[in-house]
């Protein structure tokens, strides 16, 4: 298994859907290329902001093929394979790897709440069967299931498990994950809370999987480069620059605001899948003001 370098700004890419809610693979390919051209260090598809929970397996495979082809090896492509059952996750994971994914992201099972021993066996079996780099995904606010630091420490030593994406928002938990990464070579912590991006880099996270980088990739790539160069004052300015976007994103259920903004920027994102709806006119006006703040030209 070749080593994958998970670092920097990895975009949690939205999934473009056409007006009939069908997958728009062509738009996904364009979007992935657009993001890579703007300097992001990885593409994370079929995650929470990618509406994975509203997609079937065939669509996830099609999306992966389109994005992998567009990226063409320039940065890693991380594809969401997490399902409620271990067997389903393995089956989908094998298909996504066959479609060209570099890494599999495996969110904890949702709706049901397995205990920590259940989670250990779940991830161990997946890593053993898919024979691919696996990144665990902790987002208990959505799944109701947290991967405790002690469990992560155990799993960090399992062949094939190369990291964890933490979107829990509890920085103490992320710090505990980072401590595990220091004693397990090749195990990376990927911050998944945009508000914690700079703090996470300073603490030792190798990457930030950032939804906001769909809209302002250059701002966040510069933040990371400033951090690497020791320009912490400039990196803090970059972190503060994210706040107007973060505030606007809260106006609707994700990823409605991001899709509307991208459409207005000329990057075809299409619509959200129902029951999530696109922004109402008053919110569209706020998105317009937000884009003006960043000096982003409207293409439509």
CA nearest to 145, candidates 82, 212, 210, 56: 82
Determine which one of 60, 120, 123, 137 is catalytic. 137
CA nearest to 276, candidates 84, 94, 10, 21: 21
Q: Which residue has the tokens 């459409």?
A: 263
Q: Is 137 a catalytic residue?
A: yes
Q: What does each C-alpha distance from 9 to 6, 12, 43, 115, 191 come to in angstroms?
A: 9, 9, 9, 32, 10
Helix locations, the chain, DSSP H: 25-37, 57-71, 86-98, 116-130, 140-143, 149-155, 171-183, 197-203, 217-228, 232-241, 243-249, 256-265, 281-293
Tokens (6 digits) for 286? 């706020």
Q: Is 165 a catalytic residue?
A: yes
φ, ψ of residue 295 in degrees (nearest 5): 70, 25
Tokens (6 digits) for 258? 């991001």
Report the alpha-carbon distance of residue 285 to residue 291 in Å, rounded: 10
**Coil/strand/helix, residue 150:** helix
Q: What does each C-alpha distance from 59 to 139, 141, 203 come to in angstroms?
A: 23, 25, 37
Determine which one of 7, 146, 165, 222 is catalytic. 165
Non-local (6+) Cβ contacts of 129 within 8 A are 90, 93, 94
Give me the active site residues, please.
137, 165
């Amino acid at each position: 298994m070749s080593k994958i370098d998970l670092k920097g700004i990895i975009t949690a890419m939205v999934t473009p859907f056409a007006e009939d809610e069908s997958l728009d693979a062509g738009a996904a390919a364009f979007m992935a290329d657009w993001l890579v051209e703007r300097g992001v260090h990885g593409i994370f598809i079929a995650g929470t902001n990618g509406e994975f929970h509203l997609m079937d397996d065939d669509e996830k495979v099609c999306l992966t093929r389109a994005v992998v082809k567009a990226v063409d090896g320039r940065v890693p492509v991380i594809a969401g394979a997490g399902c409620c059952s271990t067997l389903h996750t393995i089956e989908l994971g094998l298909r996504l790897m066959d479609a060209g994914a570099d890494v599999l992201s495996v969110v904890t099972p949702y709706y049901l709440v397995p205990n920590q021993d259940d989670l250990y066996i779940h991830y161990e079996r997946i890593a053993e069967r898919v024979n691919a780099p696996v990144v665990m995904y902790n987002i208990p606010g959505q799944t109701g299931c947290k991967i405790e630091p002690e469990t992560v420490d155990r799993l960090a030593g399992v062949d094939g498990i190369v990291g964890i994406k933490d979107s829990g928002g509890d920085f103490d938990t992320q710090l505990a994950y980072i401590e595990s990464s220091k004693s397990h070579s090749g195990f990376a912590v990927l911050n998944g809370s945009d508000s914690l991006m700079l703090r996470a880099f300073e603490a030792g996270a190798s990457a930030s999987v950032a939804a906001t980088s769909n809209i302002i990739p250059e701002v966040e790539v510069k933040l990371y480069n400033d951090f690497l160069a020791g320009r912490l004052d400039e990196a803090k300015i970059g972190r503060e620059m994210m706040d107007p976007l973060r505030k606007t994103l809260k106006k609707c259920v994700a990823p409605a605001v991001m899709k509307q903004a991208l459409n207005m920027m000329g990057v075809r994102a299409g619509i959200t899948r129902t029951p999530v709806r696109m922004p109402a006119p008053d919110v569209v006006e706020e998105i317009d003001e937000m884009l003006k703040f960043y000096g982003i030209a409207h293409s439509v």
